[in-house]
Amino acid sequence: MLTPETLEKLVKEFKDIVRTNNLDGLILADVEGLPICSYFQEDMDEETLASAGAAIFSAGLMTISDAKKRGLDQVVLHSPNGYIIYTQISEDYVLGLISPEDSKLGILRMVIKKVSDIVRELDA
């Protein structure tokens, strides 16, 4: 379980990862859409991003099931200004990564893997 101390560590990790990788932000939400922690370069609506991420991921799971496919790794939203990628990293958490338009998807997937590993380690 994420304690206040581990949440503080996680926010520091988010801040470092966002700045190092030139991201717009990271957000961790529970699968119900409640924000747990985040770090954004600019002011963003944490509650909207958390609830939208959980809802989008849930809709993606239903779509995958209806298409007779198994599992869902990521939901990628692409706009002319960048990407928002939602990934369910455990039974409990959905991770959102927000990036500028010049980002490379391969790099973003590596960042998601790193952040997922950090969250799992702190949640253990």
* pTM of the predicted structure, to 2 decimals: 0.92
Looking at residue 67, its pLDDT comes to 95
Instruction: Kindly report the average pLDDT of the chain as a whole number.
Output: 94
- Mean per-residue pLDDT, 68-90: 93
Task: Summarize pLDDT for 16-57 with one digit per residue, the tens.
Answer: 999 999 999 999 999 999 999 999 999 999 999 999 999 998
> Which pLDDT does position 124 carry in this prediction?
79
Instruction: State both tokens at 107.
Output: 């790099």
What's the confidence (pLDDT) of residue 14? 97
Element at 94 (helix H, strand E) = strand 93-100
Q: Looking at residue 44, what is its pLDDT?
A: 95
Alpha-helical regions (H) of the chain? 4-20, 46-66, 105-123
Half-sphere exposure of 114 (CA within 13 A, CB side): 15
Q: CA angle at residue 75 from 42 to 19, to 5 degrees?
A: 30
- Whether pLDDT at 66 is above 80: yes
- What pLDDT was estimated at residue 1? 72
CA distances from 42 to 18, 59, 88, 99 (A): 11, 28, 24, 12
Please tell me the predicted confidence (pLDDT) of residue 46: 95
Q: Are 55 and 30 in contact (CB under 8 A)?
A: no
Domain that holds residue 91: 4-123
Domain count, the chain: 1
- CATH number assigned to the domain comprising residue 119: 3.30.450.30
Q: What are phi and psi of 30, to 5 degrees?
A: -80, 170
Average pLDDT over residues 46-69: 93
